[in-house]
């Protein structure tokens, strides 16, 4: 099922005496080198050697960066802005790749069948730990992804949109409300769609995902649906994050509306539980009311740093909230409880991985942030103390301790994954993880790639705390490619 994807062409114009060129070239190499080598073809042209090309691309300043024939950068610039420009342009190019979409479509169909089996009780996907995981883990994953870059919400919207357009929800909506497919009249169809969406977030009989408590349609016109959702899993931390957290859902709503109605659709989240509101509300528009999702404006260095800091603080604040919920001291979602079906979480990972070649490094970085800054550190230090050792540990001790941490009963309350095993062979260490929530059950789709980059990054982050160095953790086998368990190889590059 592997599909050839046309590489993105990046050309950098420079010259020998250009002082801005070497640092910018370094950043280009670094960004492209972080998992995008297959996707981006980089060439460097010295304008003194090739004046023809200089003329053809209308190069006025040095360096000039051209991505797929469009100039995206001219002249010297600070590192952060260069990074930002590269990320945003490359992300956008990759997300719109048509070929990736066709592969995703097939995979998501398998995913749908798989999840339906689990939801209607035909088959349990994770026999040891069950198919419901704690929303705390889910939200921490989202928060650490959001913290990376203001472009992430945009990327999640796009991923959700593709998923809605091709996959899972459409099938669910028809199952919940068969009338949706039985009329050709647009107005009536739109009404049925609104009703089925309400069921999608409220139903607990046919599709017990526990994605949300309930939903009501608060406005319905021939081109607009406004839907209010209570206790939506992606934003139920009861913490004011300061921005909306449900971009993936918004994207899915836009995508599925477009799939059902056959006209352009868009969606925006008007109020969010994570942003000082009691509910999440979404406005879906079609045709001339299709709200287009635009790239966020570039932020300056200080704004980015402040945003990042805010997310660290939120992640820090969640520690107690989540442990209270796990120990049943205080429930976050008083009506439906804090566990949800793995099908709420899996599509985010799967659609990101299938639609976007950069997502491996994004997910890994997100996992690493959570590993370094996220909750659970007291348990880590407690285990260190019990051993009578001091940090930094050597790699062997560090990996051993990480293994004990991952096998600790309190760590398992969230049911994020099943049993963990540690294998060692001379100086090589490998963690084997059973029933990882992000991908369990997807082996049937045989997608021929690994999916647990977030987990790998998390292991790397936790190890960083223990050994004081940055290890590389690479997933070498994954349930998503048909392997029995996920396996992670751990190394330290000296
Ligand atoms: Zn929300
Ligand atoms: Zn995996």
Which CATH number belongs to the domain containing residue 113 in this structure? 3.30.1380.20
Ligand 2 midpoint to CA 298 (Å)? 34
Last residue of a domain, one of 302, 319, 334: 302
User: What is the H or E stretch that residue 492 is in?
Assistant: strand 486-492
In a domain, 351, yes or no: no
Ligand 1 midpoint to CA 348 (Å)? 15
Ligand 2 midpoint to CA 31 (Å)? 24
State whether 89 and 108 are in the same domain. no
Residues 6+ apart with CB under 8 A from 328: none
Query: Which ligand places an atom closest to the C-alpha of 435?
Result: 2
Domain containing residue 206 = 101-302
State whether 112 and 64 are in the same domain. no
Neighbours of 104 (CB within 10 A): 24
In a domain, 59, yes or no: yes
Buried-state track 113-139, b at ≥16 Cβ within 10 A, e below 16: ebbbbbbeeeeebbeebbbbbbbbbbb
Strand order from edge to edge, sheet including 224-230: 214-221, 224-230, 280-286, 265-271
Total structural domains within the chain? 3
Local confidence pLDDT in tens for the 494 residues of the chain = 333 456 778 889 999 899 999 889 888 877 776 556 667 788 888 999 888 888 888 899 999 999 888 899 999 888 878 877 887 777 666 655 555 566 666 666 667 777 777 888 878 888 888 889 998 888 999 999 999 888 889 889 988 998 888 766 887 888 889 898 788 899 999 999 999 999 999 998 888 999 999 999 999 999 999 999 999 999 988 889 999 999 999 999 999 999 899 999 999 999 999 999 999 999 999 999 998 887 777 778 888 889 989 998 998 888 888 888 888 888 989 888 999 888 888 888 888 887 776 788 889 999 999 999 888 888 999 999 999 999 899 999 999 999 999 999 888 888 888 999 999 988 889 999 999 888 887 766 667 788 999 999 999 999 999 999 989 999 999 988 888 999 999 998 76
Query: Which ligand places an atom closest to the C-alpha of 153?
Result: 1
DSSP secondary structure letter of residue 178 = G
Query: Which ligand places an atom closest to the C-alpha of 438?
Result: 2
Alpha-carbon span 247 to 255, nearest angstrom:
12
* Contact status, residue 54 vs residue 47, Cβ threshold 8 Å: yes
State whether 167 and 199 are in the same domain. yes
Neighbours of 259 (CB within 10 A): 17
Q: How long a stretch of residues is the chain? A: 494
State whether 180 and 242 are in the same domain. yes
Alpha-carbon span 229 to 143, nearest angstrom:
20
In a domain, 315, yes or no: no
pTM: 0.79
Ligand 1 midpoint to CA 465 (Å)? 32
Which of 151, 15, 7, 26 shows the shortest CA–CA distance to 68? 7
Which of 342, 325, 283 shows the shortest CA–CA distance to 141? 342
Helix pair 152-166, 342-355: axis angle to 10 deg: 100
Alpha-carbon span 451 to 219, nearest angstrom:
39
State whether 259 and 383 are in the same domain. no
Last residue of a domain, one of 42, 62, 96: 96
State whether 32 and 143 are in the same domain. no
Asked if the bond preceding 63 is cis, omega within 30° of 0, the reply is yes
Strand order from edge to edge, sheet including 428-433: 420-425, 428-433, 486-492, 471-477
- Residues around the ion ligand 1 (C-beta < 5 A): 235, 246, 272, 280
């Amino acid at each position: 099922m592997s599909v050839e994807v046309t590489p993105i062409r990046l050309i950098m114009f420079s010259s020998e005496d250009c002082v801005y060129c070497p640092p910018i070239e370094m950043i280009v190499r670094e960004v492209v080198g972080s998992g995008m080598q297959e996707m981006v073809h980089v060439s460097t042209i010295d304008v003194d050697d090739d004046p023809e090309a200089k003329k053809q691309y209308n190069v006025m300043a040095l360096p000039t960066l051209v991505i797929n024939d469009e100039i995206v950068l001219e002249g010297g610039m600070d590192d952060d802005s260069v990074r930002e420009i590269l990320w945003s342009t490359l992300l956008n190019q990759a997300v719109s790749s048509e070929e990736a979409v066709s592969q995703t479509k097939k995979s998501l169909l398998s995913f749908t069948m798989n999840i339906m089996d689990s939801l209607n009780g035909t088959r349990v996907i994770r026999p040891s730990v069950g198919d419901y995981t704690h929303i705390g883990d889910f939200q921490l994953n989202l928060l650490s992804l959001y913290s990376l870059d203001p472009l992430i919400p945009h990327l999640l919207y796009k991923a959700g949109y593709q998923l809605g357009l091709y996959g899972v929800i459409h099938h669910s909506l028809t199952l919940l409300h068969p009338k949706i497919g039985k009329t050709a009249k647009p107005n009536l169809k739109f009404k049925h769609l609104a009703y089925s969406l309400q069921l999608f977030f409220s139903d607990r009989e046919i599709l017990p995902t526990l994605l949300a408590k309930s939903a009501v349609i608060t406005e319905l016109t021939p081109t607009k649906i406004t839907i209010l959702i209570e206790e939506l899993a992606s934003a139920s931390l009861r913490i004011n994050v300061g921005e909306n957290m449900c971009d993936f859902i918004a994207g899915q709503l836009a995508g599925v509306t477009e799939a059902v109605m056959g006209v352009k659709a868009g969606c925006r989240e008007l109020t969010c539980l994570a942003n000082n509101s009691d509910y999440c509300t979404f406005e879906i528009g079609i045709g001339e009311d299709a709200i287009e999702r635009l790239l966020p404006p570039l932020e300056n260095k200080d704004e980015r740093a402040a945003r990042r800091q805010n997310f660290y603080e939120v992640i820090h604040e969640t520690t107690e909230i989540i442990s209270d919920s796990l120990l049943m001291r205080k429930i976050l979602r008083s009506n439906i409880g804090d566990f949800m079906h793995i099908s709420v979480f899996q599509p985010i990972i799967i659609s990101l991985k299938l639609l976007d070649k950069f997502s491996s490094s994004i997910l890994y970085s997100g996992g690493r942030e959570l590993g370094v800054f996220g909750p659970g550190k007291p348990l880590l230090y407690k285990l260190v103390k019990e051993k009578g050792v001091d940090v930094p540990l050597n790699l062997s001790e560090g990996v051993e301790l990480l293994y004990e941490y991952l096998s600790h009963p309190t760590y398992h309350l969230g049911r994020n994954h099943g049993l963990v095993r540690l294998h060692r062979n001379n100086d090589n260490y490998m963690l084997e993880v059973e029933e990882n929530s992000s991908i369990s059950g997807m082996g049937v789709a045989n997608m021929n790639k690994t999916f647990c980059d977030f987990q790998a990054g998390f292991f790397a982050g936790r190890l960083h705390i223990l050994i004081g160095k940055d290890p590389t953790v690479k997933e070498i086998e994954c349930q998503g490619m048909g392997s029995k368990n996920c396996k992670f190889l751990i190394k330290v590059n000296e």
